[in-house]
Structure 1
Amino acid sequence: MATTFGAATDGITVISAVLLTGPSKGGIGSETVISLAHESPAMIILIGRSLAKVQDAIDKIKEIDRDIKVKWIETDLSSLKSVRKAAETILGDDEIPRIDVVINNAGVMACPYELTEDGIELQLAASLTGHFVLTNTIIPKVLAAGAGARIVFVSSSAHKYRPFNLEDPNFAVEGTYTEYDGYASAKSAEMLYGFALNRRLALRGIRIYSLHPGGIMTNLQKHAKANGEAHMLETFDKISRVIHGMTIAEYLQKNPFKTLQQGCSTTLVAALDPDLVNREGYYLIDCILTTDPATVKPWATDADLAEKCWKKAEELVGETFEF
């Protein structure tokens, strides 16, 4: 595969089969699987909260190729009971002998403080613990795919805003939670989990990558928009100064919002580009693998922190994983 990818690469350029979380209409997850459909994979497995949220992706996949087998598995990633049920469904399905690519795309952003039914802060549940239990449980199906299989985490440059809140992951200390502190902490944790998983599976030829898809306007920003445009812009400006060293207006002038096709391309490169294994790095941005500390914070790729995050995730979900 040619590796002349960049910020304007369209997702349709790089295609393969996949299990994907979060394929809601109008999001990059949906655009990812629609792009995949153009190469007629045997099966696409969609993990979503409701059929209403997933139906648009299913319809468009079928419009492209009616022979693709599409499986939708109802799953609420914020509920460990729901995630475990979905994982067991996948493990018990003889029509899914192997999973070549897992794309952990689902998440929530900048929502008001909320604990899930499992007592986990909502953003952390969506980005870390839900994917932690789902992915670790279905690992036998990934291992069955053998060397070359990939697991991808759609993270965010927001991880640069703050590290994982390891000592108080649920922000139980009164007054410490803000919507964006929670989001950044969750995304840093998600990256650390993927990094720890990669250390466990790389010797078996299975690679894990994390990425920033770029700025794309989707329903992910619905909570930010709910607070009013003025408040949203003021908050984004503050965050942009920390993450990018410039105002949000200055940043967008240099890096305008991407289309959905451009937004899903980095995910697909992470999942499919065979040349990635010959390069150093774990994190991609604009379809490029990078180790630049100005782009990916060391606190998101630190081996010791990754192991601590793994242990904290096991503690939060009440389950240990070894493979």
Structure 2
Amino acid sequence: MAETKKYVRVKNASVDGVWYEDKIGQIFEVVHENSIALLTKYIAVLREDAEIIVTEKRPAKVGERVLITVAAPIGKQAYETGDIFVAESLYDPFTKDIRVLGMPDFIDYNEYEVIVNNEVKNEEADEMKIDLNAMEYDELIAHGEDVMRAIRLRAYGEGYRQGKFDAEMDTSHGQAPIVSAQARRDEIVEQAKADVEDLFKRDIGYRHDFIVNSEKRTVVALRKSFGEGYVREKGIAKAAPDDCFNVHIGKAIALRRALGLAVPDEYLNAPQPTEFRVGDVVQYSKRCATVVAGRPNGFGETKLTTANGLAARIIDDSREEVIGE
């Protein structure tokens, strides 16, 4: 039986200040749900703001709709995670790649899942009548936890914004910070480098090549036989639009996918960098610059804000060409 998953697409932000108001249109895999909200690894979305998409991981049949869950377009194709297409033909029965309407080239099997149902809101939940008196004790406790989650979510609109935590604790009361976001990211990058080297040693008898596209923020891992040089397996990693691209984390994710291994959660949810380092690529509005000698090349600012107040962010901290990296 095909694996079934459920995704939520953020369609609206009905509460002012809710922390997914800048995620409109994006999709997230649902890990838990209740009558009020859908919970993901990243955000909780109120049902009234959600489109629910149910998928199966299997080869698509002609005419079926597919959801792009890990976008890695090639050539002149242009599509993103969350896009939906109609399967036109099975491009390769062995690899399970497909062609879709509107795209000149194939879609890799690792990029899509077949949509079996989707709805803008859960009508059954809207019509549900809750009788607290009829609930068993355990049910009442579970329902209370769901209600408390919803209250916390609603509270964002009243001025309590949880959002993404600042990784450093407030030291105003003399509390020492735990581990900064930057320090934790540095640890994860080193872990990814070591992981790739270890997987190379363990996967004896195969060659491993990487195709890195920094502009598209993708890494493809190819597992090839030594003798013939045929590609046996392929894994793809792609940074989310709001995430900083790091080639070392990308290689670890792509290689693990090529080998059919689980991807550690810390690779998928690494904290974003907070400090400029030599070799980082920084974006100022629509301009990009590489950090040189402690500051972005051509700019005098060393913080994540420019002199005129425009936000700047690190979009690539791979630093592969920096000596010592």
Q: What TM-score do the two structures reach when normalised by structure 1?
A: 0.26
More strand as a share of residues: 2
Q: Say which one has the larger Rg.
A: 2
More helix as a share of residues: 1
Q: What TM-score do the two structures reach when normalised by structure 2?
A: 0.26
Task: State the structure with bigger RCO (CA 8 A, min sep 6), 1 or 2.
Answer: 1
